[in-house]
Amino acid sequence: MTFRYLRSLALAAAGGMPLLAQAADIDGSQLSILWGVPFAGILLSIAIMPLVAPMFWHHHFGKVSAAWALAFLLPFAAIYGIGVAGAGVVHAMLAEYIPFIILLTALFTVSGGIYIRGNLRGSPGLNTGILAVGTVLASLMGTTGASMLLIRPLIRANDNRKHIVHVVVFFIFLVSNVGGSLTPLGDPPLFLGFLKGVEFSWTLIHILPETALMVAVLLAAFFVLDSWLYRREDKVQPADPTPDDRSFGFDGGINFVLLLCVVGLVLMSGLWKSDVVFNVAGTEVGLPGLVRDIGLIIVAVASLQITPGSVHADNQFNWGPMQEVAKLFAGIFLTIIPVIAMLKAGVDGPFSAIVRAVTNPDGSPNPAMYFWATGVLSSFLDNAPTYLVFFNTAGGNAQELMTTMAPTLAAISAGAVFMGANTYIGNAPNLMVKAIAEDRGVKMPSFFGYMAWSVGILVPLFVLLTWLFF
């Protein structure tokens, strides 16, 4: 998961450390919208290349990601200087990408060390129950943890069914996204809000009605659809490939303890306040975050060491999904640098129309527009920095946002989390679930095929939420 181009960039950054330390922040108001072309390019590559050149994409998606990253970095460094470009890279890596990947890797590793044995039968009732349990767990152990824990047994439970794509799609909707909306542990945007001063229980109190409606409608719609498809294939089911020779239970249970360690480390980094800060090329790395990341690495290594090989074999555990996420998101986090800078420029930047759209003529915030602006951008940009952009656009004062501007903060939070389900790249677990499903032989929809599902099912729900709550 270490990429040659990132290693080269890191070495270059280290060599130019004095320059980087003095480099100014990227001024988004001075950038042309053309700097967003590499970011658009990587998104289009993810969407189109698996359709038109599947074999090439399967073997070379990491190189494509690197090419788009360099398409931004090299001309940007040539025009604005290595200091500014390098500082942007260091910030994107140290403040965003590396903590992001470390947390995902820890959750992926620990949850991959838990095997739910026994032959579950993929009836509509059981499938709906698993989706409901996963939705609750998502706010307790993160959308990634819940997704990685339950996607394998869910696919195994339905391995004798002809129609299974809809099961995985609704799993992404509910477990990988909507379920993570109630606590800072659930989804990275809410965790960033927690670090900015939003109380731990705030989202649970203020977004519970919206979440409950989303979950209730989606579970009901899934049960109806799954029941219809189940009845259609009832007489043509092949023999169940999963044997009935093992009782229901858990193997690798020690990983539940390690999962609690992951949750504890994340909470610690938000609650522990320390004045110890390390400045790396202009990017401040706090001691709590550093301790968290080191602790997560130790937890992941411990899980690999103590989990029996038979558990990983039963789970068909491999690094393919994690590698895909790591390589693609490395390119996304780098090419998104100028896009985020332009958004941060507000009304002075190329995206001024978006910023103006969320404000009423009298200067007050428009919660409905905040919901849609945050959500639409979170569908294609990383939802964590998008959340921060609109959090700051709304004033950035956590106490004020939690009280007098509570509808605005609720709209930003709901938009960032809910609409991450609109595309495969809206939230990292989406891509991981897709990769695991395809490894198990499920023919998942293409990028646009998945969007047909999300637009047809989720967008009407978002319109309803807007009418009722925002």
The Cα 433–Cα 151 span in angstroms is: 7
Question: Residue 17: pLDDT band by 50, 70, 90 thresholds?
Answer: very low
Q: pLDDT at position 69, please?
A: 94
Q: pLDDT at position 436, please?
A: 86
Q: What is the DSSP string of 20-61?
A: HHTPPPP-GGG--GGGGHHHHHHHHHHHHHHHH-HHHHHHHH
In a 13 Å sphere around the CA of 368, the CA atoms on its Cβ side amount to 9
Amino acid letter at 326? A
Residue with tokens 């470390």: 102
Report pLDDT digits (tens) over 24-48.
467 888 888 899 899 889 888 887 8
Helix (H, G, I), strand (E, B) or coil at 285: strand
Amino acid letter at 175? V
Task: Give the other-Cβ count within 10 Å of 293's Cβ.
Answer: 20
Distances (CA, A) of 4 to 9, 171, 396: 9, 34, 38
- Which range of 229-238, 247-256, 350-359, 413-422 scores highest in mean pLDDT? It is 413-422
**Which three-class secondary structure string do you get for 375-436?**
HHHHHHCCHHHHHHHHHHHCCCCHHHHHCCCHHHHHHHHHHHHHHHHHCCCCCHHHHHHHHH
Task: Assess contact for 402 and 427: CB atoms under 8 A.
Answer: no
Report pLDDT digits (tens) over 208-217.
999 999 999 9
* Phi/psi of residue 359, nearest 5 degrees: -120, 130
Helix axes 383-393, 406-418, angle to 10 degrees: 160
Report pLDDT digits (tens) over 115-136.
877 667 778 899 999 999 999 9
Least confident residue range of 124-133, 186-195, 322-331, 333-342: 186-195
Residue with tokens 């590793």: 109
Whether residue 101 is predicted with pLDDT greater than 90 in this model: the reply is no
Whether residue 441 is predicted with pLDDT greater than 50 in this model: the reply is yes
Whether residue 367 is predicted with pLDDT greater than 50 in this model: the reply is yes
Torsion, Cα of 430, 435, 438, 439 (10° steps) = -140
The Cα 368–Cα 321 span in angstroms is: 35
Q: Which residues pair with 217 in a beta bridge?
A: none
Is the whole model's pTM more than 0.85, yes or no? no
* Phi/psi of residue 280, nearest 5 degrees: -115, 100
